[in-house]
Amino acid sequence: MGIYTGVVYPLVLVVCAVLAIVGLATLAWPRLHRALKLITPAAFVAAGVQAVTVVALLLTGIDADMILALGYLIASVALLALLGIGRLGTPEAAAGDPDPNRPVLSPLQIARVDAAAAAIVAIALAVVSWRVYVILETAA
């Protein structure tokens, strides 16, 4: 349990804070979109490390509500699908879809969509991680 509370949970919170700050900064200055693209994989790594750690803790016999903890863990991984969602508006993505009403976004719009999604995901991931932390701490 100590590795989760001492290393993994703070790692997730730091990644969420950086992702939120860069996401909000990209909303103001879309030129930071490249930096946002570089930081996004860190969220995947942090969520992956958290998932592996929590599953390992649950399998080692910690007396936590397994269904609730796994539900929040699945939610934290599912949130990651929203990162980089602006890619769905690129001309390449639109060319692959025969729907004539599919929007094609400008690079500025793609940067803003990605930035807003990053800020939302960062906040939601921090809240979900906090809930997992509370569940595990209550069981310990």
In the structure encoding, which two tokens stand for residue 89, read together? 């508006």
Whether the model pTM is above 0.85:
yes
Which single residue is written with the structure tokens 């699908």?
81
pLDDT (0 to 100) of residue 40: 94
Helices 33-59 and 66-79 pack at an angle, to 10 degrees, of 160
3 state DSSP class of 106? coil
In the structure encoding, which two tokens stand for residue 98, read together? 């025969």
pLDDT (0 to 100) of residue 73: 92
**Residue-range domain boundaries for the chain:** 2-139
pLDDT (0 to 100) of residue 61: 79
Q: Which residues of the chain have pLDDT under 50?
A: none
pLDDT (0 to 100) of residue 76: 93
Alpha carbons 38 and 31: distance in angstroms, whole number: 13
Alpha carbons 32 and 37: distance in angstroms, whole number: 9
